[in-house]
Structure 1
Amino acid sequence: MSRARILCISLSPIERDARVLRQLSVLTEFGDVTTVGYGETPPGVARHVRVPDDRLSLPQTPFGVLRLGLLAHRSVELAAPGVAFAHRALAGESFDLVVANDARVLALAFELAGDAPVWADMHEWAPEERTHVLAWKLLVAPFMVHLCRRYLPRAAAVTTVGGEIAKLYERDFGVRPEVMRNAAPFADLEPTAVPDDRIRLVHSGGAVHGRNLELMIDAVKRLDERFTLDLYLVPAADGGKYLGELRARAGGDERIRFNDPVAPGDLPRTLNAYDVGVFWIPPVHTNARLTLPNKLFDYVQARLAVAIGPTVEMVSVLKEHDLGVVARDFTVEASAASLETLTAADVARYKANAHASARALSFDHERDVARGILRRLLGA
């Protein structure tokens, strides 16, 4: 029997996109997968259509911006340079299933799917992806709402990262997504010992404006000499400008180190050498307020204690499994205060709890959700 033909669309650098890589690990069980996105060919796929890096994923051309401003959304559904490139590259091909990652490719997915089902993995809350940026809020947010309203009710399956965001999709678009958290694959690791005189903080992720990463640097400067901070940051699309600003803010403090970014699959083993994974993201928009990010699960698989702000979904996971400490708010003072009373014994206990919870908080559950969707849509 021939294998299913599956198209997976993600206008991201897929080989560095942890969520899409996990998705692909399941898709390739069920068929021959063609990916379309930026960057090199991801592992395990039959074919990769590489979108040139300069072909943007939104209609950020003079014509596109004008049409967005006029709310002529239907006319720009396929107009973004990256979307148009993928449309031309795959026109006339047929697939048994199309997977659309994020709202911006929904129109493209349905255009290429024909009669095949579409699985829409919405990741986060599309209408407020970057509403802290005024131009995005005014021009792009209404376009995201249009795409969701027009296409999500037609999708054969919809998924998102957390229960609170799933409720928003149901409230505004009448679809209730299944939840696939950003959980990392199970890593067979042990907690490392905690030094009596040192607490080794670590953070991994993108050097992206809006995540207030400078707070971590400022907090460590307020803490006593026991605390160090290692950063594994991927430069953003700004050419590393924000990352440079963070380096300057650290001001040569020897306790704050900037390391080369690490591939998603290597993160748990790299982070395992530390003690506490930190992430204090202010609620600048809905996705920040409700985030349940990759890094929380990476920290668990690395067998780390966790230090976070009062972010709803993360606090729920942290308290259920007793993984660490929650700051009272998102100020530098509160973030530092949540750490300064920690003892080596406290950190060791939280790391042991991460170890005990690692299987339950791994990708095992999310893999089963994905397999259920694929069996249903492919009749496998």
Structure 2
Amino acid sequence: MLEWPPYRRECAGGHVVLQLLTISSGVVPQTQQPSSHGSRPRILSISFSPLTRDARVLRQIAVLAEFGDVTTVGFGPAPASASTHIEVPADLASLPQTVTGVARLAIRAHRSAEMAAPALAYARAALAHERFDLVVANDARALPLAFEAAHGAPVWADLHEWAPEEQSHILSWRLLVAPFMTALCRTYLPQCAAVTTVSPLIADLYAERFGVDAGVVRNARPFEDLVPSPLVEGRVRLVHSGVAVPERCIETLIDATLALDERFTLDLFLVFGDDDRYRRELVQRAQGSERITFHDPVAPHDLPAALNAYDLGVYLLKPTTTNHRFMLPNKFFDFVQSRIGVVFGHAVEIDHLIAEHGLGLTVSGFESDDLVAALSSLTAEQVAGFKSNSDIAARALSSEVDAETQREVLRRLLSRT
């Protein structure tokens, strides 16, 4: 970690404090201009997420690096494909959560709140003397900083979900942040040189609400060179992986497995937070059943190989928000690249892909009884067919398709500079 100016000014007890910013890089960054003829373009990617754990952004940065030298802004250490990294301290919020910031949100002073978030203020200072040929803003909250850092260069907005309802299940978010997100989208999206998002239906929402033509870059993962694992006679091996939080309703999967016949087993690869109460609740719910197994989480790049040993990936998420109803999540693509069948609760985009490729089952409801009804009559031949169809569809449902969409955007935007 190397230290360099500029400094961030903060007030502490009535005194002005100068805090040195930190940059991760192989060299001490200098004030740089956009590329001149014959040199590689300078590309800035902004994402207020832990970059080394954000699979979508990591795939994006790898494609950006094919076209130029990439400077990244985000939480945590530098991604492998970055030339230079500005690490934002993890304790800095990416929304205006200070007293003055919340007050601005409350009175709908959205323009003055755009740079009020501590994380944006930190990154703004670090980028003050930098110049780029292209800036990529991941999600709406990064748009004000992206346009300021662009200094007239093209800005590409990659929206990871429907921004106005990102956390709409939280009352304070609906009251304070949702109008702010809407204002950011209304102000900045029409100015963007390119807009992409995660699914066709969410792209339609951006077109209807903000008048932008958004391309689709799915949350698909790279193609995995795997084949379906053989069935085990007399067994249907269910599996679920991911973050374990109550709204994911993992207890529904456990209850359904306990209610199903002895053929069915459930293996859980779960990532728990610091609070261990939910884990204890789930373990207690499983009642010590030999058919339910809890595993340590698996690193994202190792997940397909781990899940390949199973038959059906299962996920039920109640559609409480627009993003849930129109979701096309990492998990779906993880299951396909693992060459297992998929069993999902109703979601429009996923329903379509399951039906189009014959990948598995759509569950009509979101309770354990609904899952039991969907699974109880499955035959071994059906399960084998789902796994085989995942194998057939794996190339079309890999990130290769989406990477080419990103390359087309980059060729178009960088040709301007």
Residue 298 of structure 1 corresponds to which residue in structure 2?
334
- CA-to-partner distance for each residue in 1:175-223, whole Å, 9 max, x for gaps? 0200111111110001001111221111122223433233222222222
1:78 correspondence with 2:80: no
Q: Find out whether 1:141 has 2:175 as its counterpart.
A: no
The one-character-per-residue Cα deviations of 1:34-75 (angstroms, maximum 9, x if unpaired) are 111112221121122111111111111222112111111111
Name 2:98's counterpart in structure 1: 61
TM-score between both structures, scaled by the size of structure 2: 0.87
Matched residue, 2:240? 203
5+ residue gaps, structure 1, are none
> Offset of 1:264 from its aligned partner?
2.2
The counterpart of 1:172, out of the listed 202, 206, 209, is 209
Deviates more, 1:312-321 or 1:47-56: 47-56
2:347 aligned to which of 307, 311, 318: 311
Residue aligning to 1:261: 297
Amino acid at match of 1:254: E
Per-residue CA shift, 1:157-181, capped at 9, x if unaligned? 0001111111100111010200111
Could you tell me which of 64, 68, 83 is aligned with 1:31?
A: 68
Amino acid at match of 2:411: R
Per the alignment, in what secondary structure is the counterpart of residue 69 of structure 2? strand
Q: Does 1:364 align with 2:378?
A: no
Q: Secondary structure at the match of 1:143?
A: helix
Residue in structure 2 matched with residue 128 of structure 1 by the alignment = 165
* In 2: Cα distance, 1:70 partner to 1:209 partner: 33
In the TM superposition, 1:279-290 aligns within 5 A as 279-290=315-326
* 1:244 Cα offset (Å): 4.8
Residue in 1 that maps onto 2:307: 271
- AA in 1 matched with 2:63: V
TM-score by length of 1: 0.96
**RMSD value over aligned CA atoms?**
1.6
* Cα distance in structure 1, aligned partners of 2:125 and 2:249: 39
- Structure with the bigger RCO (C-alpha within 8 Å, sep 6+) is 1
Partners of 1:243 and 1:168 in 2: CA distance: 36
Conserved? CA contact 1:210–1:284, under 8 Å: no
TM-fit CA distance, 1:4: 0.9
Q: Does 1:15 align with 2:52?
A: yes
Corresponding residue to 1:218 among 255, 273, 278? 255
Distance 2:193 2:401 in 1: 21
Equivalent pair of 1:132/1:210 in contact (CA under 8 Å): no
The change in CA–CA distance for 1:311 and 1:64 in structure 2 (over 3 A counts) is: same
Q: Which residue of 2 aligns with 1:327?
A: 363
Number of the residue aligned with 1:152: 189
The alignment covers a number of residue pairs equal to 379
How has the CA–CA distance of structure 1 residues 241 and 67 changed in structure 2, closer, same or farther, with 3 Å as cutoff? Answer: farther
- AA aligned to 2:158 is D
> What does the per-residue CA deviation read over 1:103-135, in whole Å, with 9 as the maximum and x for residues that have no partner?
111111111111111110001100011111111
For 2:241 and 2:414, locate their aligned partners in 1 and report how far apart those are by CA, in whole Å.
Answer: 36
Q: How many angstroms does 1:343 deviate by?
A: 2.1
Query: Is 1:99–2:99 an aligned residue pair?
Result: no
CA contact (8 A) 1:119 1:156 kept: yes
Aligned to 1:210, what secondary structure does the other structure show?
Answer: helix
Query: Which secondary structure state, in structure 1, belongs to the residue aligned with residue 71 of structure 2?
Result: strand
Aligned partners of 1:54 and 1:249: how far apart in 2? 35
Partner of 1:378: 414
The letter of the residue matching 1:4 is P
Match of 2:388 in 1: 352
